[in-house]
Amino acid sequence: MIIAERKPFNEIMEMVRDAKRILVLGCRGCVTICSAGGEREVEILASLIRLGKQKAGQEVTTIEATLVRQCDKEYIDSIDQWDGQYDAIVSMACGVGVNFIANLRPMAKVYPGVNTSSFGGSAEQGVWSEQCAGCGNCILHLTGGLCPVARCAKSLFNGPCGGSVDGRCEIHKDVPCIWQSIHDKMVRTDNADGLAAIAPIRDWSTAGHGGPRKTIRPDLTV
Amino acid sequence: MPFIPNIQAFCCHYTSQQTLAEGPEGLLADGFPKNVTIHRLVCTGKLEVSTLLKAFEDGADGVYVAGCPVDQCHNLMGSQRAAKRVGAIKKALAELGVEPERIEMYHLERGFHPEFVKVAQEMHERITTLGPSPFQGGTK
């Protein structure tokens, strides 16, 4: 899922400084799962905004709503039910949601309520770790299912840098050296020979270095 | 006119059980401040952050939560969860430029215990010293 975290409150308050009617808009997708921008977090942020405005002696009304997703036009269309009732939208979806609202509602003032950080998973209760970099050219079949692009601090393709100690990354001591993990996994599954192959020079154009990426599926377009 | 703080207390069933059995008059006789309003919960782990924030929106000058001792919660981790949520509100209050001391978590023995009255008195004194809430209450 996409991992996000609520922005510092003062940053949000600065965005909505001039707004008197605010639509706080959550998303039931990834940000609900990582407890950053679901229904519960919408309720909390709306309350904090009201308290912040009250403290400043300013009047405010808030509308609290959570869409099924903010990354599909069909769901974005549902915000029209609040037309004329808000001055600004604080989207608690990932950056995709904020962009979609901005794309589809050119007149709306939409602000991000969260910082979108990574593609990851829940390692344990309250802890999420990055697992995928979305680089557009997956090589997990060569690395035992463990990603050196996302999980090696240097995104190395041909083995460890030599700086790891006791299987831990030299940059982040609390993170396992993913190349150590890849090696262990490949040996464990009788695939050690695969580690001898030299990875060719990488074409990073699929990773966003060639500009914004678009995926088109002719079999699905209408 | 002296400032009498509006204090909202969220207490679990077990920490408040026997003290509340005395009834409001019995509590007052024990020295429980009459400006402290008690909300009884099945477990403080049931508390939502938004419920505590709403108390401030509704005009509370101070809020506290009384749950079981950290390692003796009737529901195992309920009071630990409540403490985390109180911690989140303290952080939020600080972000709002408001004294984090306006909210507190207390871990109390279950059943009748003089600490139940003592922490209410402590919050009363603390909030009286801090003064009225900087939130002006009322808009939604």
pLDDT digits 0-9 by tens, B89-126: 999 999 999 999 999 999 998 877 789 999 999 999 99
Is B134 within the bounds of a domain? no
Option in A43, A44, A60 nearest B139 (CB):
A60
pLDDT tens digit string along A129-142?
A: 999 999 999 999 99
**Residue A121 touches chain B, beta carbons under 8 Å:** no
- Rounded to two decimals, the ipTM of the complex is 0.91
Question: Do the domain assignments include residue B116?
Answer: yes
Q: Average pLDDT, stretch A77-104? A: 97
Of A9, A51, A61, the CB nearest to B57: A51
Predicted confidence at residue A94, as pLDDT, reads 98
- Whether the pLDDT of residue A23 is over 90: the answer is yes
What is the residue whose two structure tokens read 């024990």? B30
B107 is a domain residue: yes
Task: Domain count for chain B, please give it.
Answer: 1
Cβ distance B53 to A48 less than 8 Å, yes or no, reads: yes
Read off the pLDDT of residues A185-201 as tens digits, 9 standing for 90 and up: 999 999 999 899 888 88
pTM: 0.92
- The reply to whether residue B140 touches residue A43, judged by beta carbons under 8 angstroms, is no
Instruction: Please answer whether residues A118 and A95 qualify as being in contact, where contact means their C-beta atoms are separated by less than 8 angstroms.
Output: no
- pLDDT at residue number B33: 95
Domain presence at residue B120: yes
| Radius of gyration for chain A, computed over Cα atoms and rounded to the nearest angstrom | 22
Distance from C-alpha of A153 to C-alpha of A169, rounded to nearest angstrom? 8
Supply the range of the domain harboring residue B23. 7-127
DSSP-assigned letter for residue B31: T
From chain B, pick out residues whose CB is under 8 angstroms from the CB of A57. 136
In a domain, B139, yes or no: no
Contact B57/A at CB under 8 A: yes
Pick among B46, B50, B63 to test the A interface (most A CBs inside 10 A):
B50
Would B2 be classed as within a structural domain? no
Distance CA A214, CA B133 (A): 52
User: Is B117 among the domain residues?
Assistant: yes
Nearest C-alpha of chain B: how many angstroms from A8?
Answer: 8
Task: Give the pLDDT of residue B23.
Answer: 83
pLDDT surpasses 50 at B138: no
Determine, yes or no, domain membership for B104: yes
Q: What's the number of CA atoms in the CB half-sphere (13 Å) around residue A207?
A: 13
Q: What does the DSSP 8-state code read for residue B22?
A: T
Mean of all residue pLDDT scores within chain A? 95
Task: Answer whether residue B137 shows pLDDT above 80.
Answer: no
CA nearest to A121, candidates A6, A27, A30, A7: A30
Residue B65: φ, ψ to 5°: -125, 130
Closest Cβ opposite residue B57 in set A9, A50, A61: A50
Q: Tell me the HSE value of A5 on the side-chain side, using a 13 A CA sphere.
A: 8
Q: Mutating which of A47, A49, A127 best tests the B interface, going by the most B Cβ atoms within 10 A?
A: A47
Q: Three-state SS across chain A? A: CEEEEECCHHHHHHHCCCCCEEEEEEECCHHHHCCCCCHHHHHHHHHHHHHHHHHCCCCCEEEEEEECCCCCHHHHHHHHHHCCCCCEEEECCCHHHHHHHHHHCCCCCEEECEEEEEEEEEEECCEEEEEECCCCCCCHHHCCCCCHHHHCCCCCCCCCCCCCECCECCCCCCCECHHHHHHHHHHHCCCHHHHHCCCCCCCHHHHCCCCCCCCCCCCCCC
Pairing of strands A21-27, A88-91: parallel
Q: What is the CATH number of the domain that holds B27?
A: 3.40.50
Q: Which of residues 66-95 of B touch A (CB under 8 A)?
A: 92, 95
Q: Which of B50, B92, B98 faces A55 most closely, judged by CB atoms?
A: B98
